Amino acid sequence: MRVFAIADLHLSFTAPKPMTVFGPNWAGHPELIFERWREVVTPDDLVLLPGDLSWAMRLPEALQDLARVAELPGRKVLLRGNHDYWWPAIGKLRAALPPGMLAVQNDAVRIGDLIVSGTRGWVTPGPDSFTEEDRRIYERELERLKLSLETARKLGAGTPGVQHVLMLHYPPTGPHFAPTGFTDLIARYRPDRVVYGHLHGVSVPRSLQHWGDIPTDLVAADGLQFRPKLILEL
């Protein structure tokens, strides 16, 4: 099984929302994603989708976007992003998802010898504006990340032959790559790889690519030229 990742699909088939405000490269981006997905992903593969999947405001509309993704090759694991306002309670979501789709929310799933954990994350403390409300959400997300990593450990993360990928929507640190509570937990639990999205217009070579010896991958769709990135082969 090969494992790919791509975030920030920003689909809006029920109420089209142009993404060209982020740049002309976003013109027709759903068709680009679907075309390039089919070029690289097979039915035996797995694709991680760390957030900002649909612009919908309610689950029924989002499911129309997710149905288009479900038709693409491979199994999928979803994570909530900051724009996924439609995301309901996790039990309700899991019951509604099309076949072949799983969702992670402050917990983890195991697929063969692969464990996928994740939480949304948030902006991190630094020299830029960081409000008391940001701190409240940041501290809550740290607790949720710990829950996710503890669940992964219970499922077998850290044992020989088992790979553990952590999904975040936000990057685990700020633009200056200073340590944060998120990076502290990553260093403590040591997932084999971290993937994150959220950042638009950031070139992959200038993004966070390692935390210590743990690979980290920016997989925002535009940074990947809308092509899912191969991150693991099992």
Contact by Cβ (8 Å): 48, 77: yes
Contact by Cβ (8 Å): 33, 6: yes
Could you read off the pLDDT of 36-53 as tens digits, one per residue? 999 999 999 999 999 999
d(CA 80, CA 103): 9
19: pLDDT strictly greater than 90? no
pLDDT confidence of residue 26 = 77
pLDDT confidence of residue 18 = 73
Mean pLDDT (the chain) is 94
- φ, ψ (nearest 5 deg) of residue 229: -100, 130
Q: Please give the residue that has the higher pLDDT: either 144 or 20.
A: 144
Q: Where are the domains of the chain?
A: 2-233
pTM of the predicted model as reported, rounded to 2 decimal places = 0.95
d(CA 151, CA 174): 26
pLDDT confidence of residue 21 = 66
d(CA 124, CA 175): 10
Range with the poorest average pLDDT among 17-21, 97-101, 127-131: 17-21
Classify domain 2-233 at the CATH class level. alpha beta
Q: Which helix (H) or strand (E) holds 141?
A: helix 132-155
How is residue 145 written in tokens? 């990340």
Share of the chain above pLDDT 90, in %: 85
pLDDT confidence of residue 69 = 97
pLDDT confidence of residue 222 = 92
Q: How confident is the model at residue 20 (pLDDT cuts 50, 70, 90)?
A: low
Could you read off the pLDDT of 70-95 as tens digits, one per residue? 999 999 999 999 999 999 999 999 99
Q: Whose structure tokens read 């013109």?
A: 27
